[in-house]
Amino acid sequence: MKVFTTIAEVPLPTVRRALVPTMGALHEGHLSLVRRAKELGQEVAVSIFVNPTQFGPNEDYLRYPRPLERDLELCEREGVDFVFAPSVEEMYSPSPAKVQVPLVTEEFEGKLRPGHFDGVATVVAKLFGILRPDVAVFGLKDLQQCAVIQKLVNDLNLRVELAFEPTLREDSGLARSSRNVYLSDEERKVSAQIYQSLRKCRLAVLEDRDAEETIQEEISSLEAVGFKVQYLEWIDRSTFHSTRTNKENGAIVFAGYLGNTRLIDNILITA
């Protein structure tokens, strides 16, 4: 497996290239994307870059885990062809151009984390430019990010196919995340309740019960076990605005804090 740290080293594709963009601290969720990438492309590239422009000033950029050696071992074991792991200086000039994606960034993560999706859209556009993948694989775990990237590719006519893959969970139902390392044992147990609440809300929608009431009940029960809920909402995936009607393209999305750790998760109404 090759490891490139500069843009100039990255070869142009000669076979169908599948890219899995990550910020490292790889876990089974990331590896499930790598396995999908192996099915979709003849060559698999993983990028590992903790992208500073997608972190807000009070977020965890500096303390975000960076176990690069371990990540490289995992990639090697999965049969990844090459890893692209550039420095911040390699990726950004002093006054860099940036990409903005409207509409789907107006609410939820876009509202709570100003500038976050500008950072995401910009780095993804750059990675597509550097690595020239035929197909790129992303996780539905970051559902709004998927909507942003789909719109980025559509609106800028980027010739990259996209694959969005299901969220890998622990047995408890907790979505795997690099940020789970911040959780204490007790918090990890409590975190299992996020998925239970998402499932209850989804069921209420599917059974045409009062979704509003169920959502409010679930917010209360999450807060009762220690969460500070930022949102628990039924959304339309095409606009990423709230909905009370769209089941077909709908999802329930959650974000909240448990102690100092911010967790997000979601469930599709119809999978």
In the complex, which residues of this chain contact ligand AMP (CB under 6 A)? 22-23, 29-30, 32-33, 138-139, 141-142, 165, 167-168, 175-178
Give Cβ neighbours of residue 4 (< 8 Å, ≥ 6 apart).
10, 82, 83, 84, 85, 86
Q: What is the Cα–Cα distance from 69 to 1, expressed in whole angstroms? A: 13
Least distance (Å) between residue 216 CB and ligand AMP: 27
Q: What is the Cα–Cα distance from 210 to 110, expressed in whole angstroms? A: 27
Q: What are the structure tokens assigned to 163, written together? A: 């694959």
> Residue 76 in 3-state DSSP?
helix
Least distance (Å) between residue 194 CB and ligand AMP: 12
Closer to ligand AMP at the Cβ: 170 or 217? 170
Positive or negative torsion for Cα 252, 249, 169, 123: negative
Residue type, 50: V
Closer to ligand AMP at the Cβ: 139 or 250? 139
241 annotated active-site? no
Closer to ligand AMP at the Cβ: 171 or 207? 171
Closer to ligand AMP at the Cβ: 149 or 201? 149
Least distance (Å) between residue 213 CB and ligand AMP: 29
Q: What are the structure tokens assigned to 248, written together? A: 């077909």
Q: What is the Cα–Cα distance from 169 to 262, expressed in whole angstroms? A: 17
Least distance (Å) between residue 252 CB and ligand AMP: 17
Any idea which residues carry the catalytic annotation? 30
